[in-house]
Amino acid sequence: MSHNTFGHLFRVTTWGESHGPAIGCVVDGCPPRLPLSEADIQPFLDRRRPGQSRFTTQRQEPDQVRILSGVFEGQTTGTPIALEITNVDQRSKDYGDIAARFRPGHADLTYTLKYGIRDYRGGGRSSARETAMRVAAGAVARKLLGPGVRIQGALVQIGPHPIDRARWDWDEVERNPFFCPDAEAATLWTEYLDGVRKAGSSVGAVIELVAEGVPPGLGAPLYGKLDADLAAALMSINAVKGVEIGDGFAAATLRGEDNADPMRMENGMVRFGSNHAGGILGGISTGQPIVARFAVKPTSSILTPVPSVDQAGNEVEVATKGRHDPCVGIRAVPVGEAMLACVLADHLLRHRAQNPDAQGEARLPARG
């Protein structure tokens, strides 16, 4: 991960500002002869798109993706895949205030201190809009991984309200505007978040990601660990402040006996009796589901005025009216899934480069 490029062999470079003419990305290193069209990508973008419920910003971005290169007669060619979305909802008239003032919790100040200049329109490069390209790249990564690898995400907590994991139902995730796997929690959250929204406030959230069908062996000691790359990938999403694998921070409270995942043989494969490890040991996938969580801070744009400063060094107060997600964590679900897909795709390529004979299942080698 360096600057605006992510990945080692499956490499994604994104570009574009919230209110520029377009945003885009280049996906390099994708294997050839994968069937790919805009129709494979668009559904994932549609899931992330704002304006689909009253709990996400009312900006209307059709987010129509175009493939500009790397696909020929419906198949990838092995050359760079350029994806692009034209920006159509650029309300540049809105940005008088933001141009001169640093919004607390945003990147306005840090971009200014780093670069001495910033594109203040809609947050410029630091806008959550960039995550659309992550989702697009993630759709390509899923094609590479194939149907055997199932990547899903869910919102498991909004503000202080976690789901009840006993009620987890993946089907439920697509039935409510929160990607929530617990129908009762979704009902409760509706009321709760309506209150937050009407108060012009915001709240944080926790997202859980699960990848099933991941072959064992992905990841590389010691600085290319699967969990290290995944941590970076998730932490690179806007507003993320924490990342966990498996039991995560809860593991710190456990005794060794309670954290151990026992192993047994089953049909010639090594199987586990539990998954505290979240599918990764020593930085390498075990074959169990990869489980990761990440925490998103509350949207920084709120109605309550917060003391700040302006470009000229005056002390001011900043309050944000207008179109903002009361909980950016909701739309972070498809973004997190996409980053997980990209990390797995990259490591799948890296793994088979070094280990072309690896079996892709938890079968013990004749010797070891």
Looking at beta carbons only, is 27 or 186 nearer to a copy of itself? 27
Our CB check for a copy of itself shows the closer of 30 and 171 to be 30
Pick the closer one to a copy of itself by CB: 171 or 253. 253
CB 152 within 8 A of CB 173: yes
Q: What is the closest distance, in whole angstroms, from the C-beta atom of residue 237 to a copy of itself in the complex?
A: 9
**Identity of the residue numbered 130:** E
Token digits for 3? 């600057």
- Is the CB of 147 or the CB of 171 nearer to a copy of itself? 147
Q: How far is the CB of 87 from a copy of itself (least distance, A)?
A: 10
> Which CB sits closer to a copy of itself, 171 or 267?
267
- Other beta carbons less than 10 A from residue 116's beta carbon: 7
Pick the closer one to a copy of itself by CB: 65 or 228.
Answer: 228
Shortest distance in whole angstroms from residue 278 CB to a copy of itself: 7
Query: What DSSP line would sit under 147-173, residue for residue?
Result: TTSEEEEEEEEETTEE--GGG--GGGG
The CA distance from 232 to 137, in Å, is: 16
**Which positions ≥6 away from 50 have C-beta within 8 Å?**
56, 57, 58, 59, 60, 61, 325, 331
- Is the CB of 88 or the CB of 353 nearer to a copy of itself? 353
Whether the Cβ atoms of residue 131 and residue 335 lie closer than 8 Å to each other: yes
**Cβ 16 to a copy of itself, closest distance in Å?**
5
Indicate the Cα dihedral angle 227, 124, 153, 350, nearest 10°: -40
Nearest approach in angstroms of CB 38 to a copy of itself is: 12
The CB-of-347 to a copy of itself minimum distance in angstroms stands at 10
Give least dist CB 259 to a copy of itself, A.
5
| Residue closer to a copy of itself, measured from CB, 171 or 293 | 293
Judged by CB, which is closer to a copy of itself: 171, or 279?
A: 279
Tokens at residue 261, please?
């995942």
**How many of the other CB atoms lie within 10 Å of CB of 187?**
12
Least distance (Å) from a copy of itself to the CB of residue 307?
A: 4
Residues 84, 86: Cα–Cα separation, whole Å? 7
In the complex, least distance from residue 149 CB atom to a copy of itself, rounded to whole angstroms? 16
Q: Are 303 and 258 in contact (CB under 8 A)?
A: no
Distance CA 347, CA 225 (A): 9
Looking at the DSSP assignment, which residues form a beta bridge with residue 284?
A: 281
Of 297, 291, 301, which Cα lies nearest the Cα of 332?
297
CA angle at residue 23 from 146 to 126, to 5 degrees? 100
Strands 161-162, 205-212: parallel, antiparallel or unpaired by DSSP? unpaired
